[in-house]
Structure 1
Amino acid sequence: MEIRGPMLLPAHREDVELHTIDGLTLVGELATPLHRDPVATLVTCHPLPTAGGFMDSHIFRKAAGRLPELADIAVLRFNTRGTASPRGTSEGSFDGGRNEAFDVAAAMDFVAARGLPAPWLVGWSFGTELVLKYGRDHPAEGAILLSPPLHRATADDVAAWAVDPRPLVILVPEFDDYLRPAEARERFASVPAATLIAVEGGKHLWVGENQTRRVLTEIVAAVNPSALPLATEWQGGTDDL
């Protein structure tokens, strides 16, 4: 059976709540391997909620649906303040990437409290702004940026990563709506150790199974390369799904 679309591979999936230092409760989901301990954890920061971004934005939903089984990676997804999804609505209201700093901190506090291993911050679009601005404050193994627009993150926010020894991996779609590879190379030039990957044919929303697989492969290449290549077919029985 081909692995594609919203297919959910076996995993333990748990509705969770995150608690911010300014007193809000955020809703989320933690997906972990069903029969093994995870080797790493993705802490995902979703696209812009005022433009439809939320914890179920498709790349993160598919990461949670596939990577616990295929790569032994735990995936934490959550709605930032004021964001709604079928899981529920997080308290508070959208703050343009300012008080969302507390949301990132709450997610990392949750990871620490649960003893989840080797957390990586993964931001997509607006979520990359949160990772760039606030990720260095937390004990993550590294950071992965998907389609960074660099609207809210300043040149100083970017340059600060130059003195951080942790890996910074940047996936830039060839046909991005906001930041394409040539400009991205210029704007991330202040971080010479960063790995910038220009994705041929890619677009900001990474639509299509080929783009989904490319993004998930690059995430796993950074976080748990021993799990590559990712399987594209499910060998288990349908009763396991």
Structure 2
Amino acid sequence: MEIRGPIQLPARREDVTLDTLDGLTLVGELALPETATPDATLVTLHPLPTAGGFMDSHILRKAAARLPALADLAVLRFNTRGTSSPRGTSEGAFDGGGAEAFDVAAAMDFVHEQDLPRPWLVGWSFGTELALKYGRDHEVEGIILLSPPLHRATDEDVAAWADEPRAVVALIPELDDYLRPDQARERFASIPHATLIEVDGGRHLWVGETQTRRVLTEIVAAVNPDALPLPTEWTGRLGH
């Protein structure tokens, strides 16, 4: 069976809640390899909730559906404050990336409480702003930025990563609505070790199986390259 679209591969999946220091409960899901010990952990940060972003935004949902089985990765998804999905609604209200610092911290506290290995922040659009602004405050191996708009993350937020030994990987769509490769090279120039991956034909929302596979491949290349190449077919049973 070809791995594409909404196909969900086997994993241990559980609904989880995250508790913030300002007293909110956030809803989420943790997906773990079905039998193996995870090699690393993806802590995902979704796109802008006021524009329809949530923990089920398709790239993050497909990462959770596929990567525990294909790359031995744990994937944590959650709704930031005030965000709803079929999983439920997180308490609180959208704060434009300010109080969401508490949400990132709650996710990282959960990762440490569960003793999940080698956490990476994976942000998409608005989620990249949270990763850039707050990722340095936590024990992560690196950050992966999908379609960073660099609206709320200032030049100072970006430059603060210059002296960090941790990885900064950014996927820049050729046809992005907000930040295209030429602009991205300029805006990220303050981080000498940043890896910018320019995706020909890519768009901000990464629509289509070709773009989905490219994004998931680049995530795995950063986090667990031994799992490459990712299979495109699956012969076992499907997940739940």
Regarding TM over 0.5, the answer is yes
Cα distance in 2, alignment partners of residues 122 and 157 from structure 1: 17
Match of 1:95 in 2: 95
The number of residues matched between the two structures is 240
Which runs of structure 2 are paired with 1:70-149 in the superposition (5 Å)?
Answer: 70-149=70-149
Match of 2:224 in 1: 224
The percent identity for this pair of structures is 77
Cα distance in 2, alignment partners of residues 6 and 102 from structure 1: 31
Residue identity opposite 1:51 in structure 2: A
Residue identity opposite 1:38 in structure 2: P
Q: TM-score, normalised by structure 1?
A: 0.99
Match of 1:186 in 2: 186
Render the CA deviation track for 1:92-148: whole Å, top value 9, x for unaligned.
000000000000000000000000000000000000000000000000011000000
Is 2:160 the counterpart of 1:157? Answer: no
Cα distance in 1, alignment partners of residues 154 and 138 from structure 2: 19
Misfit runs of 4+, over 3 Å: none
Is 2:7 the counterpart of 1:7? Answer: yes
Kept in 1, the 8 Å contact 2:28–2:87? The answer is: yes
Cα distance in 2, alignment partners of residues 28 and 109 from structure 1: 14
Indicate the SS of the match to 1:63.
helix
Match of 1:177 in 2: 177
Cα distance in 1, alignment partners of residues 169 and 212 from structure 2: 17
Indicate the SS of the match to 2:153.
coil
Match of 2:26 in 1: 26
Indicate the SS of the match to 2:82.
coil
Name structure 1 gaps, 5 residues minimum: none
Cα distance in 2, alignment partners of residues 83 and 172 from structure 1: 26
Indicate the SS of the match to 2:3.
coil
Kept in 1, the 8 Å contact 2:132–2:158? The answer is: yes
Cα distance in 1, alignment partners of residues 14 and 76 from structure 2: 10
Name structure 2 gaps, 5 residues minimum: none
Indicate the SS of the match to 1:162.
coil
Cα distance in 1, alignment partners of residues 192 and 145 from structure 2: 15
